[in-house]
Amino acid sequence: MSKGRVWITRAAPGVARSKAAWERAGFDCFIQPLVSIAIAREMPEPLPDDAVLLITSQNSLRILGQLTDRRDWPVMTVGNASAKLARQMGFDDVLSAEGNAQDLLALVQKIYDPNTQKAFVYASGSFARLDIARNLANRGYKTRRDIYYQNEIIAPVDLSQAGDITHIALYSPMAAHAVRRYAGVFKQARTISISAQADKMLDGRYINRRIVSDRPNEARMIAAVLP
């Protein structure tokens, strides 16, 4: 018996893995991304030899990895999923903040002094709720932000095949912001956000129907809605 029908708002390529994970947990799935992902029209300049890569998105890491064979830069990621991908790509020096962008920012400051000669490169999409590079620059670090892809809200989306949605899985603050317009359509559905930052973007929508994962990963999102 199905545990419900979940709207997976994640964009490719991760959506296929998400669909399989939710189906294994007993849910029917409706796939309709809320955010579009496209490779940036112009790629950033080559990375400096002394770079430390700051990663909050697997998309930017994948694209960066296609532009160079080098894997000797230290990598600091927002969470474990991105850290796992970095290691799979061949990076050896990988450290996860195991949280959100604020946690990554704090981790950099804990490990590195502003006077270090390292160049911190924030690899990101065109939209980032927290500009880590700017925050570090304000604290005296040598840093830059490299944009590897364009991320934009899709509006409106095609809900003709949505069916009886019981849950809406939100994988980013941007997706949470986009789903606010559909609160009147899915009046009984519960949202499950990957982080408190994503949930915050729902503002006053979906009152008393909002769940926040206790860890920023999909496994804990699914666990949060299981009986």
* Statement to judge: residues 89 and 119 lie in one domain: yes
* Statement to judge: residues 88 and 141 lie in one domain: yes
In percent, how much of the chain has pLDDT > 90? 88
The total number of structural domains in the chain stands at 2
Where is the domain boundary, 106, 133, 151?
151
* Statement to judge: residues 186 and 137 lie in one domain: no
Is residue 216 pLDDT above 90, yes or no?
Answer: no
Average pLDDT, the chain: 95
Instruction: Tell me how far apart the 2 most distant CA atoms of the chain are, in Å.
Output: 59
Q: Considering just the CA atoms, what is the radius of gyration of the chain in Å? A: 18
Q: What confidence score (pLDDT) does residue 100 get?
A: 87
* Statement to judge: residues 73 and 130 lie in one domain: yes
Is residue 95 pLDDT above 90, yes or no?
Answer: yes
Residue pLDDT, tens place only, 54-80: 999 999 999 999 999 999 999 999 999
**Angle between the N-to-C axes of helices 218-225 and 14-24, in degrees from 0 to 180, rounded to the nearest 10:** 30
Residues 6+ apart with CB under 8 A from 207: none
- 3-state DSSP assignment of residue 97: coil
Q: What confidence score (pLDDT) does residue 128 get?
A: 85
Residues 6+ apart with CB under 8 A from 83: 75, 77, 94, 95, 96
Q: What confidence score (pLDDT) does residue 67 get?
A: 94
Across the range 33-56, mean pLDDT stands at 95
Range of the domain at 13: 5-34+154-225
Is residue 1 pLDDT above 90, yes or no?
Answer: no
* Statement to judge: residues 206 and 187 lie in one domain: yes
pLDDT range class, residue 180, cuts 50, 70, 90: very high
- Tell if the pTM clears 0.85, that is, is over it: no
Across the range 186-207, mean pLDDT stands at 95
Q: How far apart are CA 50 and CA 119, in angstroms?
A: 6
pLDDT range class, residue 99, cuts 50, 70, 90: confident
Across the range 79-107, mean pLDDT stands at 95
